[in-house]
Amino acid sequence: MTPCSRTITLWQLRSRALEMGRRTLVMGVVNITPDSFSDGGRFFDPEAAVAHALELLDEGADLLDLGAESTRPGSRAGSRAGGAAGSVWAPAVSAAEEQARLLPVLEGILRARPDAVVSVDTYKAATAREALKAGAEIINDVSGFAWDAEMASVCAEAGCGIILMHTRGRPEQWLAQPSLASNELLATVRTGLAASLTAAAAAGIPPEAIVLDPGYGFGKRFEENYALLARQAELLSLGRPLLAGVSRKSFLGRTLAPLHHGSDAPVEARETASLAALVAAILHGASMVRVHAARPAAEAARIADAVLAGGHRL
């Protein structure tokens, strides 16, 4: 495999900048929900969530991503688990409830670690606005500015860092969507991300504030995620660094089914597969990875970075 060439650049956040491309950044996930697919609500209590966030930082996470609305399979917001969601959609969380869950944890983290870099995973402009006031540096919008018309202007006004993710349609449309061949899938993701970049530019957001996320599992059928991962580096032509979020997703569990008596591997049995997918994502151009377990991810990322560096020295 020819080593992927990641451009070294600065990602401009609200109050600082992070270097991207020289070393893979590890983003630790903190789910402040009662029903997350990945941790079953273990960190719904604010004190537990803050403690978990600090542990992630101590174990090698470079930044944190706080989410207060579940995106488990079957949720309105999407499927962070990584495959086509079910036909029944859980009630969406209101902005007020999302903020009530989120803000105490955000404030608690920044009290304990004032220098921590915190991202907030939300597609709601009202929540983004309050989180940025409370000290968040980044807004991670799974809709790529498509689900709330005010989100781009809120981010532009705050001058924050932004992650724009590709989602193919709304979750309730996923079961009816036809499967896509590799070329069609890549073109769909590229076109969607380009549209998000256009919306950002129209709002006055500079390119250096943006990282792009191909959106593994969001409107992609199980096998399509692998086709996307294999060609992920082609998305670097959009000119922005890439984030890959493959941790514990259900397309990994489906692939492991032969090792689990024909059933998809449960979430707790997907960690090794997550690391394999993480390394593949880095070797295919990701400058940042979104993970649930920081220490093994940080170790795997160091090895993948060394492979990239070694390839460029040939």
Residues annotated catalytic, as ranges: 249, 290
Q: Which residues contact 157 (CB under 8 A, 6 or more apart)?
A: none
**Residue carrying the six token digits 């993948």:** 304
Q: Which residue has the tokens 């709330």?
A: 148
Helices 46-58 and 294-312 meet at what angle, rounded to 10? 30
For 110, half-sphere exposure in the C-beta direction (CA atoms, 13 angstrom radius) is 17
Q: Which residues contact 20 (CB under 8 A, 6 or more apart)?
A: 6, 8, 9, 10, 11, 211, 241, 287, 288
Residue 129 · residue 148 · CB < 8 Å? no
Give the separation between CA 31 and CA 204, rounded to whole angstroms. 31
